[in-house]
Amino acid sequence: MKENEQVGKPRRKNVLQRFRELPGSRIAAAAFAVTVVLGLGAPAAWALWNQQGTAAITVTAGKPVPAVPTPQPTPTPPGTVVNQADPVFAARPGKPSPGTCTAATGNQRTDTTFTWVAAGPVTHYVISVTSTNSAYPYAQTQTVPAASATFRFDRAAVDQYGKPVSNPTPYYTDYRVRVMPMNGSVAGDPLYWTYKYEHYNVTNCYWADPHAAAAPNAAPLGKINPLTCTLPELVRGRNGYAELVLNWAASSGAASYDVTIRSVNGRYGAQTNQATTQTRFRTSLSQPGGSTQHFSQYSVRVQPMNGTTAGDPVYLTYQLGANSHECWATGNELRG
């Protein structure tokens, strides 16, 4: 009878059987084994087991992985101008073209009128006439609204044949004529020529004299030649860029310099006015959608300024491509 009673009585489950029926028992057992293998020891593993009553155990091995630093943009040096799309350039006047000179002769004087061909946009002109003879320091300047100005020159008395009654005087000499077009405070490129004043012929105008602009003290603010350029290596990568470094000699009378860099189609470039004699022109090589739109030839222009007084600009050319860039002087002289 006792045997029959034992047959109907449920058998008691041992500890291992009860553990197997727990939810997550297999995961807990695996975690226990990993903990022991990693060197924590059985006591530590058992404590970790007891802390996780639901058998949801997280095991972390090794050192924490350091965070990856966020790349920072390359710092822009002071005096850097950035190549921009559709920049706003100052409305610069065009270069005047040669015209005429006519004289109204009197007994002791000659009034000579200089004219030239305008090129807008222009609000006024600054015209200077300077003697090239140090024995006769003639130097006069006028500001006129139209493309014409009259200057008075001394004249020796002449006889009935039109010749001086005394020895030739020093004011019968060559005069340097300079016309600077202005649009408000924005200066253009000057026109130079030489006027030869003589007692028997006062209408000798030597247009576009190639030596006039290069003469000492021809420009009111001195010379800034040479305009030189340096081309650092192209910087590649996420914040890649190309850079043109411009340097020039300080002008004796300049308070600032107008720097204009413009692509051949006028759609890209930059303009700045600064007191220093160096400019960095930077073009991004990591623009969204690529930088091919910036690959072009650029005209670089630097002009000394002192308030509304404009000196003579100098030029060079900058060529930017996908894998290289270069620059060369445009004669390092005035260009129309």
What integer pLDDT is reported at residue 68 of this predicted model?
Answer: 65
pLDDT at 90 over 90: yes
Structural domain spans, the chain: 2-51, 80-89+222-329, 97-207
Length of the chain: 336
What integer pLDDT is reported at residue 127 of this predicted model?
Answer: 97
Do 80-89+222-329 and 97-207 agree at the fold level? yes
When the pLDDT of each residue in the chain is averaged and rounded to a whole number, the result is: 80
Task: Find the mean pLDDT for residues 29-50.
Answer: 49
Task: Find the mean pLDDT for residues 275-299.
Answer: 85
What integer pLDDT is reported at residue 35 of this predicted model?
Answer: 46
Residue 213 pLDDT grade (very low, low, confident, very high; cuts 50, 70, 90):
confident
pLDDT at 277 over 50: yes
* 11-20, 163-172, 242-251: least confident range: 11-20
What integer pLDDT is reported at residue 154 of this predicted model?
Answer: 85
What integer pLDDT is reported at residue 37 of this predicted model?
Answer: 47
Is 0.85 surpassed by the pTM of this model?
no
pLDDT at 151 over 90: yes
Task: Find the mean pLDDT for residues 190-217.
Answer: 81
- The CATH architecture one would assign to domain 80-89+222-329 is Sandwich (2.60)
CATH of domain 97-207: 2.60.40.10
Residue 76 pLDDT grade (very low, low, confident, very high; cuts 50, 70, 90):
confident
* 175-189, 197-211, 222-236, 261-275: least confident range: 197-211
Residue 221 Rama label (left phi>0; alpha psi -120 to 50; beta): alpha
What integer pLDDT is reported at residue 311 of this predicted model?
Answer: 95
What integer pLDDT is reported at residue 226 of this predicted model?
Answer: 84
